[in-house]
Amino acid sequence: MKEVVVLSGKGGTGKTSIAGCFAALASNKALADCDVDAADLHLLLQPVDKQKEEFWSGQVACIDETACTLCGLCQEQCRFDAIHDFKVSRFSCEGCGFCARICPVDAITMQDNMAGHWYISDTRYGPLVHARLGIAQENSGKLVAMVRQQARKIAEEEGFSTIITDGPPGIGCPVISSLSGADLALLVTEPTVSGVHDLGRVIEVCRHFKVPPTVCINKSDINEQKSSQIEEHCARNGISVAGKIPFDTAVNRAVAHGVPVVECDDGPAASEIRLLWKNVESLLSTS
Amino acid sequence: MIISVASGKGGTGKTLVATSLAISIRAKENVQLLDCDVEEPNDHLFLRPVITSSETVCIPVPKVDYARCNFCGECARVCAYKAIAVVPKSVLIFDQLCHGCGACSYLCPENAISEEGREMGVVESGNADGIEFVQGRLTVGEAMAVPVIRRVKARIKSDRIAILDVSPGTSCPVVEAVENSDYCLLVTEPTPFGLHDLRLAVETVRQLGVPSGIIVNRAVSGETLVHDYCKQEGIPVLLDIPLDRAIARLYSEGVTLAEGMPQWQAAFADVFAQIKGALHERSRCA
């Protein structure tokens, strides 16, 4: 079984539109949406939820006002500046439990935190595992790990050959959690100064975690010069460019209708995405 | 005054808005631009600041003094992040899991744990044509953005107009950046993805108690998806920036909208005036 994760560094480069197309093009696969704080893949795949589970992770400190003697030790020692006027900010508390251990009158307890939900759903393209991190919650990395673990379990049970994972933007905790142990990272970039800069950082992350990257330049014709610059950068670093997708309003129309563009169009973007999937499939088979 | 620029969905135009807003008001106001998207900071590509100082961001991680340690295991028991394991004759410390809370060193009965700094990233500062510029940069391979964002925010000066460029999403880095802002500008696009993630962003700023207004980027005439939602929720739309190849081209080259098409400066100055008006109204009602 092989897993490809779609990442980008910069947000809004087209990860989800492309992952949605892969869902339609690939056979024998499970799907995972690892962008757990702004998941959008379901808007293209129209899943029917089969199973919904609570995701409990981490703890939050809670001060019992009636027992508190206002000694101030917790405020003084909290490294996260999470306690003001003897009240805990649930946004700042990182759940370390230090305050609860040192409170001289045991007025602080640590309470388990429900950080979100994860779902197993049916789509017309196959099973999808996705999740919703609660607003302002931490531990997105752990929820991502849960989504990938469930997708892998389904793929094993069903004998699927491929897992397609839509990743989050950035290079931090949820990205690392989406990437580690995958067989291939498809990095979707765009020919802009930010696209180039952010691609460089996410390539480094792939190196760090030893996952081979391949690149797709989306909206490649909005700036041909920047596009060539990306291709040269990839060539110099021994990274393949698996696809170049031209700017095509058919992609926006498809999103507006809630379908992957390859399902409703044969224009330039849809054709290039089909080629891109063939390249990714062949890279996956040799990874 | 602190104005944060956030979005939910990535790639909607936060960087465009933050940089153009800063440029459009710098003639009249003392402006700071702080790039809190420490995973992928991009504002420097558009403002090309002269960086004059660089501070390393460290979090304190435990260091064991083996002359004192008796391997009792208390440090491992008190660590909520499973960053310490005590085995016979050795204490294993997993730096990457440590949040730097300090519980282990404080609670060690033998006083055998001190702390040393582990580098997570840098905060750089300088000047970009009259705009005081600050940005954070998370070291590649590090998972925790929040400590770097905290250090960036420590540079906010209360007598300035501080504009904060925030990372996409709704989880802890976004909350850390937006918390305590006077106003949050939410940048979106009129697509189902844009609207879906805008709803989450609105919910986030509401929970933080920060007033907000919307900027619709890549607006298409006749597409009222976002405007309808905003009307229904009672959130003001402060500006529409049209879907325009020339604007996209400027962005791709690293040119701010306010400089590439200076006629936009008045529009961004007006956004600032609307924010000031809303905050004035709010303080009057409070």
Structure confidence at residue A152 (pLDDT): 98
- Answer whether B234's CB lies under 8 Å from B206's CB: no
Q: What is the DSSP string of A185-227?
A: EEEEE-SSHHHHHHHHHHHHHHHHTT--EEEEEETGGG-HHHH
pLDDT, tens only, B189-236: 999 999 999 999 999 999 999 999 999 999 998 889 999 999 999 999
| Cα distances (angstroms) measured from residue B182 to each of A228, A238, A259, B121 | 43, 47, 39, 27
Angle at B17 between CA A137 and CA B240, to 5 degrees: 105
**Domain A58-114 fold:** Alpha-Beta Plaits (3.30.70)
Is it the case that residue B256 has pLDDT exceeding 80? yes
**Domain B2-57+129-285 fold:** Rossmann fold (3.40.50)
Which residue would you say has higher pLDDT here, A100 or A37?
A: A100
Beta-bridge partner residues of B5: B165, B185
Task: Determine if the pTM surpasses 0.90.
Answer: yes
- Answer whether B187's CB lies under 8 Å from B14's CB: yes
Is it the case that residue B42 has pLDDT exceeding 80? yes
Q: What is the nearest CA distance from B262 to chain A, expressed in angstroms?
A: 20
- The residue in chain B having the minimum alpha-carbon distance to the alpha carbon of residue A74 is B103
Between A249-257 and B192-208, two packed helices, what is the crossing angle to 10 degrees?
60
Pairing of strands A108-123, A48-63: antiparallel
CB-CB under 8 Å, B8 with A38 = yes
**Domain B66-111 fold:** Alpha-Beta Plaits (3.30.70)
CB-CB under 8 Å, A222 with B172 = no
Nearest to A169 by CA among B191, B163, B248, B7: B7
Is it the case that residue A112 has pLDDT exceeding 80? yes
As a whole number, mean pLDDT of residues B253-257 equals: 97
User: What band does B2 get if pLDDT is binned at 50, 70 and 90?
Assistant: very high
Here the tokens at position B211 are 């007033």
**Domain A2-46+124-286 fold:** Rossmann fold (3.40.50)
Chain A residues whose CB is inside 8 A of the B40 CB are 9-10, 169-171, 194, 197-198, 201
> E-assigned strands of B24-176?
31-35, 50-64, 84-87, 90-93, 113-128, 131-138, 161-165
Domain boundaries, chain B: 2-57+129-285, 66-111
Q: What is the DSSP string of A240-282?
A: -EEEEE---HHHHHHHHHTS-GGGT--SHHHHHHHHHHHHHHH
Contacts of B62 (CB under 8 A, 6+ apart): B75, B84, B93, B98, B104, B105, B113, B114, B115
Identify which of A43, A92, A173 has the shortest CB distance to residue B143.
A173
pLDDT, tens only, A190-226: 999 999 999 999 999 999 999 999 999 999 999 999 9
Structure confidence at residue A135 (pLDDT): 82
Is it the case that residue A139 has pLDDT exceeding 80? no
Question: Please, what is the average pLDDT of chain B?
Answer: 96
pLDDT, tens only, A153-176: 999 999 999 999 999 999 999 999
Interface test with B, best of A6, A98, A108 (most B CBs within 10 A): A98
Interface test with B, best of A77, A135, A248, A252 (most B CBs within 10 A): A135
Residue indicated by tokens 């106003």: B183
Domain boundaries, chain A: 2-46+124-286, 58-114
CB-CB under 8 Å, A191 with B193 = no
Structure confidence at residue A138 (pLDDT): 78
Chain B residues whose CB is inside 8 A of the A255 CB are 191-193
Structure confidence at residue A75 (pLDDT): 97
For chains A and B, count residue pairs whose Cβ atoms are closer than 8 Å.
185
Structure confidence at residue A226 (pLDDT): 96
Structure confidence at residue A95 (pLDDT): 95
Contacts of A165 (CB under 8 A, 6+ apart): A3, A4, A5, A6, A19, A31, A32, A33, A34, A148, A151, A178, A182
Structure confidence at residue A10 (pLDDT): 94
Structure confidence at residue B224 (pLDDT): 93
Angle at A140 between CA A136 and CA A143, to 5 degrees: 125
Is it the case that residue A137 has pLDDT exceeding 90? no
Q: What is the nearest CA distance from B15 to chain A, expressed in angstroms?
A: 9
Q: What is the nearest CA distance from A44 to chain B, expressed in angstroms?
A: 9
Cα–Cα distance between A37 and A31 in angstroms, integer? 17
pLDDT, tens only, B140-173: 999 999 999 999 999 999 999 999 999 999 989 9
Structure confidence at residue A187 (pLDDT): 98
Structure confidence at residue B102 (pLDDT): 98
3-state secondary structure of B177: helix
CB atoms within 10 A of CB A102: 16
